[in-house]
Structure 1
Amino acid sequence: MTSDDEKKQPFIRLAMTTDVPAIKLIARKSFERYVPLIGKPPAPMNANFSGHILKDTVFIAQSEKKQGSVLGYAIVLQRDGEWLLDNIAVSPEAQGRGVGSALIAACETFLQKRGVQRYHLYTNEAMEQNLTWYPEIGFVEMARRLEDGFSRIYFTKEMVPKSVDCNGSD
């Protein structure tokens, strides 16, 4: 891959059921390193991605608009009246190139268009990269709980409303 390819912003689109094999592969490659630390597969490795695509909002990051390789995904859903970033993963080969940030931006645009002011996520305490990255992008730790046999850390992010130009200029 050339350095020009690495500088390109990924193309973000909604997932289709035909993306499920690529999503499963990314989930496996992204989360399998945590199995020895957690003692079992992290929840995203067993997710029903077809179900998420049909009933929730799943974004795909790909390398090019047409026929590009899938680099990552993010799942946003509503549970008990709250919005949750249920799962986000980037292929290890594409990490560090802004793919995760582009997926977060797509999720936040989606949520802001629906008037959402805050959303939540959780991660396993063994996922140290996440524990560093989430606060860097504006998430605040809210709680720690043992749930379904996983030691989870819950985060919330308050979104800043998009500014409106009050000067009348375009």
Structure 2
Amino acid sequence: MQFTPRLASLADLAAVQGVVKDAYTPYVSSIGCKPGPLLDDYEALISAGRVTVVDVDGGVKGILVLIPEKDAMLLDNVAVAASAQGLGLGRELIAYAEHRARDAGFSLIRLYTHVAMTRNIEYYTRIGYVETHRAEHNGLKRVFMAKSLT
């Protein structure tokens, strides 16, 4: 299935928040607190042009947050609504993030995930991301990963 990402507008705010809540709430019990994406200010991120969305069947079902940094593009968040899981939307959004990072002149893309999100860590490793370090930030134990885009 082919998806067409688009820049989010403030009209998408509730839908973006809904996708994030849908995607990350199941992790609250295993982590013991809200994952970082549940605490982010999506109004500010959308206003800054950092959020990309994908519509499926007339509604936002996937979101991507990209933040350019000094030496790499940060893939800050990729989330897919439960109703769209299994469609390949997450994989498409990550490929799109890597494409956007290359187009912006970056040779490296990085991300982080919670240490308890082992399926995510395994998936990122399978698609070429390498663990760079682990650290605790805002009470969250994170695994930092990066992928060369050259």
Q: TM-score per shorter chain, which class?
A: over 0.9
Give the CA deviation at 1:138. Answer: 1.2
Partner of 1:130: 120
TM-score, with length taken from structure 1 = 0.82
Letter in 1 for 2:15: A
Would you say the 8 A contact 2:8–2:49 is kept in 1?
no
Bigger-Rg structure (1/2): 1
Find out whether 1:31 has 2:24 as its counterpart.
yes
Contact 1:12–1:102 (8 Å) recurs in 2: no
Q: Please list every run of 5 or more consecutive structure 2 residues that lacks an aligned counterpart in the other structure.
A: none
Structure 1 residues 35-66: Cα deviation after superposition (integer angstroms, max 9, x where no partner):
111111111011111111122421111126xx
Assess if the C-alpha contact under 8 Å between 1:11 and 1:63 holds in 2: no
Secondary structure at the aligned position of 2:37 is classed as: helix
- Rate the CA distance shift 1:117–1:107 in 2: closer, same or farther, 3 A: same
Cross-structure match for 2:144: 154
- Which residue does 2:34 correspond to in 1? 41
Structure 1: how far apart are the matches of 2:50 and 2:137?
24
**Aligned mates of 1:56, 1:137 — CA distance in 2:** 26
3-state SS of the aligned residue for 2:67?
A: strand
Q: State how far apart, in whole Å, the 2-side matches of 1:57 and 1:107 are.
A: 11
Matches of 1:135 and 1:82 in 2, distance apart?
A: 18
CA drift at 1:10: 2.0
1:79 Cα deviation after fit: 3.5
TM-score between the two structures when normalised by the length of structure 2? 0.93
How many angstroms does 1:73 deviate by? 0.4
Aligned mates of 1:151, 1:69 — CA distance in 2: 33
Secondary structure of the 1:96 match is coil
Matched residues in 1 for 2:93 and 2:123: separation? 14
Answer yes or no: is the 8 Å Cα contact 1:61–1:72 preserved in 2. yes
The corresponding residue for 2:79 is: 89
What residue identity is the alignment partner of 2:62?
G
Q: Residue in 2 aligned with 1:61?
A: 54
Are the aligned partners of 2:20 and 2:38 in contact in 1 as well (CA < 8 Å)?
yes
1:93-114 deviation per Cα after TM superposition (whole angstroms, max 9, x unaligned)? 2112110111112212211112
| Unaligned residue ranges in structure 1 (runs of 5+) | 1-7, 161-170
How many pairs does the alignment contain?
A: 150
Identity of aligned residues (%): 32
